[in-house]
Amino acid sequence: MGCKVIVSGTVQGVGFRYFTCMEARLYNLTGHAKNLASGDVEVVMYGEGQKIAKMIKWLEQGPKTSRVAGITVSDVAYLEKNDFVPY
């Protein structure tokens, strides 16, 4: 399963991508977290549906250093990846 989440709020310059990678690795998800020019963060993840659902729940709050205003979730085609990385 693949999923893309756009996270808005105070999510850049606060370690959001780093903490997202650490959390995603706990769930054995692969994919990436990337800053967007809009100030949002794009999180693309691949893995088991239940684990992705848990990660989405985590993204609704984000790390303590951030302030998540909202998320947008969409499905994406599955791609084979080896790790979860920040861009």
Task: Clarify whether 82 is annotated catalytic.
Answer: no
Task: Clarify whether 35 is annotated catalytic.
Answer: yes
What is the C-alpha radius of gyration for the chain, rounded to an integer number of angstroms?
A: 11
| Backbone dihedral angles phi then psi of residue 19, each to the nearest 5 degrees | -65, -35
- Side-chain-side CA neighbours of 16 within 13 Å: the count stands at 26
Of the candidates 17, 28, 67, 82, the residue annotated as catalytic is 17
Gap between the Cα atoms of 70 and 50, Å rounded: 21
Of the candidates 28, 35, 67, 82, the residue annotated as catalytic is 35
Catalytic residues: 17, 35
